[in-house]
Amino acid sequence: MMNVAITDHVAFVAFWLGFSRWVTILMQLPLFDNTAVPNIVKVLASFVIAWAFHPLVSPALTAEVRAVGIEHLWALTAVHVGCGLVIGFFVKSFMALFASAGTIITQQIGFASVSYFDPTQAQQTGPFEKLIQWTMVVLILTSGALIPMFKGVTESFYTVNSLNLDKMTQSHAFFGEVFKGIFTAAIMLAAPLLFANILMNLVFGIVARTIPQMNVLMVSFVVNIGVGLLLFIAISQEFFQVSFDIYVERLGQWFQFFAR
């Protein structure tokens, strides 16, 4: 029978704190928040990533454990879990930007009534939301844009911990600007469809006055869908390029905030 004993309690607690932050961050990312992914896979993937990055964050975690004390293990865990939840939510909000743009486009084209229950996300969703979200996930994964995120998380172990939590009390202005920018970006991405819909409504308003016997409502419903789909196909390349640039820009702001 083999006995397992911990010889270096400080190193063990330091790794546990790193794991507790990584797992709360990764659980909120687009791939890991999918209910189709088993929890054991999420935990094991978080463990592997925490193990891989531990040599980079070990000095900060060890210094924190020695300063606060091992006897305050659960307080330290609560701090790192809280930091992980905030950081993960912040990164996830960038992806919500594209889902919001997809919702606006769905409504403007005329697919507002077309939605289905997605069992993998356990929520109602529309066609354009899923299309845009998963296209952006593929672009991010294949372009190396996750590197700044991992770099920012690694740096956060040095800049956001129990020894300098006072920094978070001064961040409300930064978070306000970022989330305001996310809202503005979602409107900007959907702007071509918004203006096209306004123009078509104006044209159909004129047609309704000049040809009152025409059923403008039925015609406009079909034309809105057709023109909207054609317009989205025409601007799709530029749409996703601008979306990717916005993601990189917001992620850069996030990285600068946690690195300073």
Please list the rounded mean pLDDT of every run of 10 residues in the chain (260 residues): 61 89 84 72 88 90 86 87 83 73 71 57 63 72 72 81 68 67 75 79 79 72 76 77 74 64
The confidence score (pLDDT) of residue 115 equals 58
79 contact partners, CB below 8 Å, separation of at least 6: 161, 162, 165
Instruction: Give a yes or no: residue 18 inside a domain.
Output: yes
Per the structure, the count of domains in the chain is: 1
Instruction: Give a yes or no: residue 1 inside a domain.
Output: no
> What are the angstrom distances between the C-alpha of 245 and each of 100, 145, 252?
17, 10, 10
User: How far apart are alpha carbons 157 and 155 in whole angstroms?
Assistant: 5
Instruction: Give a yes or no: residue 145 inside a domain.
Output: yes
The confidence score (pLDDT) of residue 249 equals 73
The confidence score (pLDDT) of residue 113 equals 56
Alpha carbon 160 to chain centroid, angstroms = 20
Instruction: Give a yes or no: residue 118 inside a domain.
Output: no
The confidence score (pLDDT) of residue 19 equals 92
> What are the angstrom distances between the C-alpha of 15 and each of 30, 61, 200, 218, 254?
25, 8, 59, 63, 24
Instruction: Give a yes or no: residue 79 inside a domain.
Output: yes
Domain that holds residue 220: 9-109+124-259
Instruction: Give a yes or no: residue 51 inside a domain.
Output: yes
Instruction: Give a yes or no: residue 116 inside a domain.
Output: no
Closest CA to 99 of 124, 66, 75: 124
The confidence score (pLDDT) of residue 183 equals 73
> What are the angstrom distances between the C-alpha of 81 and each of 1, 139, 153, 192?
35, 29, 13, 41
Instruction: Give a yes or no: residue 208 inside a domain.
Output: yes
The confidence score (pLDDT) of residue 110 equals 65
